[in-house]
Chains A and B, each alone.
Chain A
């Protein structure tokens, strides 16, 4: 098991490259899926012209995005403007490192994997603030502030909810959490935790009904108003990487990850993740958006007390099941 350290570093490099490639491909797929799902819900057909039934549309979009001019406002802070999108996109990809894609297939089984998954995206807040502030634009500035306030507010109930899973599994490693669900997936034991996780995750990744930082009717495009081309694409990549990571992590924490009859684990995880992703898209095109103050009230006065109650509830469940 003991491998030389330079080799470990090289393995990290390799898996990092793989993770970034996966995220790129996933973003293309998810954007197309989202456009088709939204079209279906709104009674349209969606993209139809590039490739069969518009299947190549996002590939074309990606080529367009890397070929677009890189515009920066004259009064923007150049360094912070460049750093912002990186600090948003990189943590989103980094969080994939601990997701067990099959029973043994995980990029790195950290002994603090669950905590890592919650902590790394915390860096995103700095990126959002930097991007919003550096753009020297009122919409960006307000959008950046709102996003970061929303992000940190929902991080607490979300973390408290994940604590319940850690309690039952008795480990912070994502692989151990998966192992512990051999007999019963945690969605059965902790249905309320699962609900809280899904809702707070939607808020954490800035999606409707919590996409207020990007509310186009009041903030144009929020913190990424001034971005174009590849730098804008990084924000987009981060959004879908975060969306996917949250869904896959939810499938691992509550739905037993890759466990299931007949099919290989990777397929089962993909199916469960896809179901969660679809529900996320469904919600996006069905519910209206919250107002800024409603959003904060919901986080602190509903979800935080609810997650504390849920913690006590989970402790009782743990005692009842554990023996």
Chain B
């Protein structure tokens, strides 16, 4: 079991190394073929022709924070479902009821977040 696990991880490691290396090598290889004419104006941020109107390092919309929080809660709950999903077929009505109770709890938390206004973009 652990041997198979180790070989899976090693395979994916090799896979990832190849997928990361190829674009880096391509980028480097064409480095001495592509033109390079640095210019002050070219290095300016895009702003339809005028100097940059405002600094991008600034506070942004609060709503992102709300959604990020709710996301973490639901993502963890979804992951837990993946753990039980494969054995659910043979778990009988009792097992199904237990997972059903969990899903009801998830639905309840969604309802709570909804009522508290966490899902409104404002």
Mark A residues whose CB is within 8 Å of B.
2-3, 5, 8-17, 19-20, 66-75, 86, 89-90, 93-94, 97, 107-108, 110-111, 114-115, 133, 135-142, 145, 149, 152-153, 155-156, 159-160, 163, 166-172, 220, 225-226, 229-231, 234, 292-293, 296-297, 300-301, 304-305, 308, 311-312, 315, 318-319, 322
B96's nearest neighbour on chain A, judged by CB, is: A315
Interface code B1-33, partner A: CB below 8 Å = 1, 0 otherwise?
Answer: 001101110111111111110111011001101
Assuming the contacts A69-B37, A139-B46, A305-B107, asked whether A167 and B89 have C-beta atoms less than 8 A apart, the reply is yes
- Please indicate which of the listed interface residues B23, B40, B87, B103 has the most CB atoms of chain A within 10 Å of its own CB: B23
Q: How far is the CA of A10 from the CA of B18 in the complex (A)?
A: 10
By the criterion CB–CB under 8 Å, are B119 and A168 in contact? no
User: Which listed residue, B35, B61, B86, B110, touches A69 by the CB 8 Å rule?
Assistant: B35
By the criterion CB–CB under 8 Å, are B14 and A172 in contact? no
Interface code B51-93, partner A: CB below 8 Å = 1, 0 otherwise?
Answer: 0111011001101100110110011001001100111111001
Number of B interface residues, CB 8 Å?
71
By the criterion CB–CB under 8 Å, are A17 and B18 in contact? yes
By the criterion CB–CB under 8 Å, are B18 and A115 in contact? no
By the criterion CB–CB under 8 Å, are B14 and A16 in contact? yes
Min C-beta distance of B93 to chain A, whole Å: 8
By the criterion CB–CB under 8 Å, are A2 and B30 in contact? no
Chain B contacts of A170 at CB under 8 A? 86-90
Contact sample, A vs B, 19 pairs, CB 8 Å cutoff: A8-B11, A12-B10, A12-B15, A19-B18, A20-B22, A66-B26, A71-B43, A73-B44, A73-B45, A86-B20, A94-B19, A108-B8, A138-B53, A159-B75, A159-B78, A300-B110, A305-B107, A315-B99, A318-B88
Min C-beta distance of B31 to chain A, whole Å: 8
Assuming the contacts A145-B64, A308-B107, asked whether A172 and B56 have C-beta atoms less than 8 A apart, the reply is no
- Please indicate which of the listed interface residues B11, B60, B78, B100 has the most CB atoms of chain A within 10 Å of its own CB: B11
Q: How far is the CA of A82 from the CA of B4 in the complex (A)?
A: 35
B43's nearest neighbour on chain A, judged by CB, is: A74
Chain A contacts of B7 at CB under 8 A? 3, 5, 8
By the criterion CB–CB under 8 Å, are B6 and A19 in contact? no
By the criterion CB–CB under 8 Å, are B11 and A12 in contact? yes
B114's nearest neighbour on chain A, judged by CB, is: A301
User: Which listed residue, B26, B89, B100, B103, touches A318 by the CB 8 Å rule?
Assistant: B89
Q: How far is the CA of A16 from the CA of B14 in the complex (A)?
A: 7
A118's nearest neighbour on chain B, judged by CB, is: B82
Min C-beta distance of B105 to chain A, whole Å: 11
By the criterion CB–CB under 8 Å, are B14 and A12 in contact? yes
Chain B contacts of A110 at CB under 8 A? 8, 12
Min C-beta distance of A160 to chain B, whole Å: 6
Q: How far is the CA of A110 from the CA of B9 in the complex (A)?
A: 10
- Please indicate which of the listed interface residues B6, B19, B24 has the most CB atoms of chain A within 10 Å of its own CB: B19
Chain B contacts of A86 at CB under 8 A? 20, 23-24
Q: How far is the CA of A11 from the CA of B34 in the complex (A)?
A: 33
Q: How far is the CA of A170 from the CA of B90 in the complex (A)?
A: 8
User: Which listed residue, A107, A155, A308, touches B106 by the CB 8 Å rule?
Assistant: A308
Q: How far is the CA of A167 from the CA of B103 in the complex (A)?
A: 14
Q: How far is the CA of A67 from the CA of B42 in the complex (A)?
A: 17
Known A-B contacts: A160-B81, A231-B27. Give 15 more (CB < 8 A): A19-B19, A66-B30, A67-B30, A70-B36, A90-B16, A137-B52, A145-B60, A167-B88, A170-B88, A226-B46, A296-B67, A300-B67, A312-B103, A318-B88, A318-B89
Min C-beta distance of A209 to chain B, whole Å: 17
Chain A contacts of B36 at CB under 8 A? 69-70
B6's nearest neighbour on chain A, judged by CB, is: A5
Assuming the contacts A141-B56, A153-B67, asked whether A322 and B12 have C-beta atoms less than 8 A apart, the reply is no
By the criterion CB–CB under 8 Å, are A5 and B10 in contact? yes
Min C-beta distance of B17 to chain A, whole Å: 6
By the criterion CB–CB under 8 Å, are B67 and A163 in contact? no
Min C-beta distance of B89 to chain A, whole Å: 4
